[in-house]
A and B are shown apart, each in its own frame.
Chain A
Amino acid sequence: MFLSFLTAPRHGTQLFLFVLGAVLVFAAVMAALHTLPPRAKRWLIVACTFVAGLFYLLEFMLPPGTLMPPPGPGEGPVTDNFLSRYVEPVGYVTQIIAAVAIGLGVINLARVNSAPLLRFRPGWQNSLAFFTGLIVMLVVGLWRWKLLLNVTTVAQEKAVNESTIGSLYRFLFDGLYSNLGGTVFALLAFYIVSASYRAFRLRSAEATLMMITAFIVMLGNVPVGTAYLTGWIPDGHWYSFLKVEHMSDWIMNTPNMAAQRALIFGIMMGVIAVSLRIWLSLERGRFFEQEL
């Protein structure tokens, strides 16, 4: 009975009261926990981490049907265990917590950029650019989102995109943001060209082996390599292996594949080890150890 009272949806002032109640209850619980001695707080963190880890671990390890009613007549075999139906809600809750945490980084960026602006130190115009970019994109983005909220037909959407807000948003998003992001990446190609001439030295036999393999793979990827360099070698003979794309194909599918697989097995054991340490709060050192 009490449970159904709690889970009944609330609207209007009732909703406001219940939300307020939730905040008060949450604050009370956190205040109570705050009075705990440091050892108990540390134990609470360890316990929460353990239970959180145990949830997904058990949900995966327990065979289907554990603690579940047997399948009724005509129903297929049960594929879940008693924890499986909580996987989705846990997913939604984590999404909300992660979204709320995004503000954390913004506060830090604002802190770092406000100093030059307030004290008018050199480079203040850069911090001004930062804040203008942030606020304008946020306001215009949310305003356009609000306009698009109850739009369903394509015509309505077209109207919003053509409106001043829609055009301003495209100016910020397509004009500035996408081009800035895309070009930062394109710089890499230019860095590689100068590095090719100045940094990629065949210092050792290993570097030479790496570079020869790189040349084969590069030529195998591009039409100029496949068409002109070894295009004249006919297919279908044992020596057609010398065609650049076949050599590159073999390098990728055999030696590269085997070496990458060995790396995978290493990473596999590494992930087991570190997951155990986090889950059982064995992870001593730096972050986890100081007093509370």
Chain B
Amino acid sequence: MEAGLGSDRTRRTLYLLLAAAIALPFFAKTVIPPVVGREARALYEAVESVPPNKIIVLSLEFEAGTIGENLPQTRALMNHMMKSGKRFAIMGFDPMGPVFGQREAEDLAKRWNRPYGKYWVNWGYKTAVVQTLKAMIRDIPGTMVTDHRGTPLSKLPVMDGIKDAKDVGLIIDVTPSALYEAWMAYFAGPGGVKMGVAPTAVMVSDIFPYLDSGQIVGMLKGLAGAAQYESLVFGRDARERGITWMTSVSMTHILIIALIILGNILEIAARRRRTAT
């Protein structure tokens, strides 16, 4: 049974059009610097203002499906934290998030000379979201027990003085799902911890009420947010991955708007022809 989308020829030409709209800009020389939105700037300032005696928790809840958006966000945030020497901890409620985070951090640790255990730690994958978050408010080392390799947290200097929610300067949730709501409801809210979120763009509209009420201090809107954050960390002419990919994303948007308008025009024309005969 044909799993394609109706008549083949039109469908395959549409797919090729998209592939072209994405691939051609890969080889373009010029890159258009993004306009930095108010939410991305707010998250940048929130990270900047975390004092040295506090730790930033970077919770990575994504799996392979959304690395296209969540990985550039994670990379941009880690670049900033390592550049300004902020202490941070990676964790996640999806088994794969912390694994991707670990690899990116190791790659960037060489670039910014921030050794593991001294500037950053990986607490690894946790299940039972609600109970873990509630337990973390009181006793983070007790809840985490060991890092992702099994080394007791007491042995890692980055964890010195980190006991409970009061020692967390900022929690940033990089997520493709509504897990940020659990972080807000069971950790950031009750623990009185500032919270930022880096969602896939799908979730962005839901989050504006929480920005308005101050429950969330800053946000990266999908890949566009990652590109904007990169231009904040590296300056306007940065050529990081987020910014280079956004040129292709721009082309796809033009293609889609054109197709929607074209599709409707042809539909109206066809309907008029039908009523005319």
Question: So, do A and B actually touch in the complex, CB under 8 Å?
Answer: yes
Q: Which residues of B contact A90 (CB under 8 A)?
A: 131
Q: CB-defined interface of A73-113 with B at 8 Å, one 1/0 digit per residue?
A: 00000000000100110111011001100000000000000
* Residue from A148, A194, A196, A202 in contact with B11 in the complex, judged by beta carbons closer than 8 Å: A194
CB-based nearest B residue for A87: B134
Q: Which residues of B contact A178 (CB under 8 A)?
A: 64, 67, 96
User: Does A149 make an interface contact (CB < 8 A)?
Assistant: yes
Do A189 and B252 touch across chains, with their CB atoms under 8 A apart? yes
- Contact A91-B134, Cβ < 8 Å, known A179-B64, A198-B263: yes
Q: CB-defined interface of B102-141 with A at 8 Å, one 1/0 digit per residue?
A: 0000000000000010000000001110111011001100
Chain A interface, number of residues (Cβ within 8 angstroms): 60
Q: Which residues of A contact B63 (CB under 8 A)?
A: 181
* Residue from A99, A198, A261, A264 in contact with B6 in the complex, judged by beta carbons closer than 8 Å: A198
A193 CA to B4 CA in the complex, in Å?
Answer: 13
User: Does A219 make an interface contact (CB < 8 A)?
Assistant: yes
A92 CA to B131 CA in the complex, in Å?
Answer: 7
Q: Which residues of A contact B221 (CB under 8 A)?
A: 221
A227 CA to B227 CA in the complex, in Å?
Answer: 15
Do A197 and B33 touch across chains, with their CB atoms under 8 A apart? no
| B: interface residue count bin | 35 or more
**Which of B45-53, B82-90, B243-251 interfaces with chain A?**
B243-251
CB-based nearest B residue for A261: B209
Do A223 and B127 touch across chains, with their CB atoms under 8 A apart? no
Q: Which residues of B contact A84 (CB under 8 A)?
A: 138
Q: CB-defined interface of A182-201 with B at 8 Å, one 1/0 digit per residue?
A: 10111001111111111011
A79 CA to B216 CA in the complex, in Å?
Answer: 25
* Residue from B142, B149, B212, B264 in contact with A152 in the complex, judged by beta carbons closer than 8 Å: B149
CB-based nearest A residue for B266: A197
Do B135 and A223 touch across chains, with their CB atoms under 8 A apart? no
Q: Could you show 19 A-B contacts with beta carbons less than 8 Å apart?
A: A88-B135, A91-B143, A94-B128, A94-B131, A95-B126, A181-B63, A181-B64, A182-B68, A194-B10, A194-B14, A198-B6, A223-B227, A225-B250, A245-B35, A253-B211, A253-B212, A257-B208, A257-B209, A257-B212
Instruction: Report A's interface with B, CB cutoff 8 A.
Output: 84, 87-88, 90-92, 94-95, 98-99, 148-152, 154, 157, 173, 177-182, 184-186, 189-198, 200-202, 211, 215, 218-219, 221-227, 245, 249, 252-253, 256-257, 260-261, 264
Instruction: Report B's interface with A, CB cutoff 8 A.
Output: 5-6, 10-11, 14-15, 17-18, 32-35, 37-38, 63-68, 96, 99, 116, 126-128, 130-132, 134-135, 138-139, 142-143, 149-151, 201, 204-206, 208-209, 211-212, 221-222, 224, 227, 246-247, 249-257, 259-260, 262-264, 267
